[in-house]
Amino acid sequence: MWTKEFQCGGHESALLDCRSSGSARNTCSPGKAVGLTCSESEEVRLVGGDSRCAGTLELKHNGDWRPVMGRGWTLKEANVVCRSLDCGSAVSVVERKESSVRPVWWIDSDCVQSGSSLRECARSESSSSILNLTCSDSVRLVDGTSLCSGRLEVKSDQSNQWWSSVCEDDFDQQDAEVVCRELGCGAPSVLQGALYGEVEAPMWTKEFQCGGHESALLDCRSSGSARNTCSPGKAVGLTCSESEEDRLVGGDSRCAGTVELKHNGDWRPVGGFGWTLKEANVVCRNLDCGSAVSVGEREESSDRPVWGIYSNCVQSGSSLRECATSRSSFYILNLTCSDLLVRPNISVSSSTYGVSEAQQQEFRVLRGSNFTISCSIQPQYPGGSFQLTFTSSNTTHNYTQPAVNHSAHFLFPAAEPAHQGNYSCVYHVYVFSHNFSSESRLLSLTVSDPSVHHHFIRVVLLLLTLLLVNTALCCCCKACRGQKPGRQENIELDDYNLGVPAAGGGPTEEEGAQGAE
């Protein structure tokens, strides 16, 4: 144990600079060794902006205030600063270039994401670029799944240290539109009480009466009367859409070209760092353009404003908006997506059985007869070719023809057992300096022997003949039985043939019988 008592005034820079007692301590009770916790006391500020929640980020470290610069800063890292300043949510991150190099505290985003303090992440560097941040002054969304979702909290003024939840009954769709706009998010998609938990924080006491066009929630009118209570489970939970507005421009189609992102109302090209096909796939999926085929950087003749997006941020599952940093660059990203090729159709026709579409069912042709397999596709790109793929139990063949009017016809003059198997059409097209392909369903073909076919026909004809003969004999028998009428019927028939009425003034039965004889 240290044997003397320290007698510091509190202003010394080191403990051993302090005075100490002249007498030494001989003993120290168990459990009395000093344990000490110093606060991190992050000394950060935003200067030069319109409010204390916007401006150039500065950090005091080792007694020295300097601006901050760092690699890969996004809204997530900016949110750490906004929380430490008791501001709202992060709205934008801008990398601003200055005219000369100056000392800065360099802080990498990876270090901040790990949960370390800014002080622990800072190292002394020189740079001509510095970070500018903007936080929302008086609204924030907490405990959500992204920066655009959470329980709504409002602070009435910067001198007030309390954030208040808002009662669902005092908040409507127009109010939500203003909050989402203030936070730089898309339109509100979900508005529901207790969606992101319930807290015992104070409640906002007045009803918001926004028109929906205001730029900040506290710009809206509010009711004159105050609310005293709010039912449990009624704190406003709000989800704003991420509203990923991205596009590919300058290419041969909407699925190829320079990547552009709309963020904070501003369309800019994207300058990427470390982008691969994985990150490019995010853009292709957003645009419903299939999969990424290529990604690369294009150098421009002059520096221009871009949205800088690091690949590791996209890989983490964050939206492009959450990953975007405003900066200037000579390099912009170019992507090519596969687009969604439609599936070609396959059909078969023969001189014996006509035409059949492929439905994964067996189609039969006669040995020796001709048949044609046709491939076609809906018009999407000019040109291209069709590859007819044939697969049997022991062989595979490919036949290729150019696409004419988006179709091709493969003629087989004489069907043989070797033609029996599965067929499919594969459409190939070369566009945007890349090959794309799409395959049809399978068509199963069976080749039958004509002798079996003819024998079958002979059997069918024989059965039909027997049926017809049997029917004719039955009819003849019925006709013969119908020509032996009774005696009275013969008399009436003869009298009718002679033009004599059958009743009234005719001959007697006996005379009629004699006449019949």
What's the rounded Cα separation, in Å, for the pair 433 and 447?
A: 42
Q: In this structure, are 435 and 373 located in the same domain?
A: yes
Q: Which of 82, 182, 95 is nearest to 135 (CA)?
A: 82
Summarize the confidence of residues 59-82 as an average pLDDT: 90
98 and 71 within one domain:
yes
- Clarify whether residues 233 and 294 are in a common domain: no
Clarify whether residues 156 and 130 are in a common domain.
no
List, for residues 269-323, the tens digit of each pLDDT value: 999 888 998 899 889 988 888 888 889 998 988 889 999 998 888 888 888 888 8
DSSP 3-state of 256: strand
The answer to the question of residue 222 being in a domain is yes
Domain boundary (119, 135, 151) is at 135
Strands (E), 281-361: 292-310, 325-337, 345-350, 354-357
Residue 304 lies in a domain: yes
Q: Are residues 226 and 201 in the same domain?
A: yes
Model-level pTM greater than 0.75?
no
| pLDDT band of 513, cuts 50, 70, 90 | very low
Q: What is the DSSP letter of 431?
A: E
* Residues 386 and 320 placed together within one structural domain of the fold: no
Whether 177 maps to a domain, the answer reads: yes
Closest to 152 in 3D by CA, of 177, 132, 131, 133: 177
Close Cβ partners of 163 (under 8 Å, ≥ 6 residues apart): 140, 153, 154, 155, 201
How many domains does the chain fold into? 4
Residue 108 shares a structural domain with residue 204: no
The CATH number of whichever domain residue 322 belongs to comes to 3.10.250.10
Residue 509 lies in a domain: no
CATH number at residue 436: 2.60.40.10
The reply to whether 151 and 208 lie within a common domain is yes
Rounded CA-CA distance 264/92 in Å is: 8
Residue range 134-151, pLDDT digits in tens: 999 889 998 888 888 888
CA dist list (Å): 508 to 367, 492, 503? 78, 12, 10
At 401-426, the pLDDT tens digits run: 999 999 999 999 999 999 999 999 99
Rounded-to-integer distance, Cα 143 and Cα 138, Å? 17
Query: Is 170 inside any structural domain?
Result: yes
Per-residue confidence (pLDDT) for residue 418, from 0 to 100: 92
Average confidence score pLDDT of the chain: 82
Task: List, in order, residues 6 or more apart from 395 with CB less than 8 Å away.
Answer: 418
The answer to whether residue 310 is domain-embedded is: yes
Domain limit, last residue, from 110, 135, 160: 135
Of 308, 337, 366, the position where a domain reaches its end is 337
Enumerate the H helices of 94-188 as residue ranges: 109-113, 118-121, 173-182
pLDDT for residue 493: 37
Could you tell me which of 188, 182, 145 has the C-alpha nearest to residue 319? 145
Q: Which domain holds residue 74?
A: 44-135
Residue 316 counted as domain residue: yes
Q: Are residues 261 and 333 in the same domain?
A: yes
169/129 same-domain check: no
- Match 């202003």 to its residue by tokens: 11
pLDDT over 50 at 492, yes or no: no
Using the predicted structure, report yes or no on whether residue 490 has a pLDDT greater than 80: no
pLDDT band at 435 (very low <50, low <70, confident <90, very high): confident
Mark whether 129 and 174 lie in a shared domain: no
Which residue has tokens 């935003």?
Answer: 46
Please report where in the chains the tokens 């800014």 appear, as a residue.
Answer: 118
Q: What is the pLDDT of residues 202-245, one digit of tens each?
A: 778 788 899 988 989 999 998 766 666 777 778 888 888 765 67
What are the beta bridge partners of residue 68?
105
Q: Are residues 273 and 230 in the same domain?
A: no
Tell me the CA distances in angstroms from 503 to 472, 508, 511, one per residue in order. 38, 10, 14
**Residue 373 domain flag:** yes
Return the residue matching tokens 């009425």.
Answer: 501
Residue 277: C-alpha distances to residues 154, 262, 315, 336 (Å) = 41, 21, 11, 10
pLDDT at 94 over 50: yes
The helix (run of H) or strand (run of E) holding residue 489 is helix 487-497
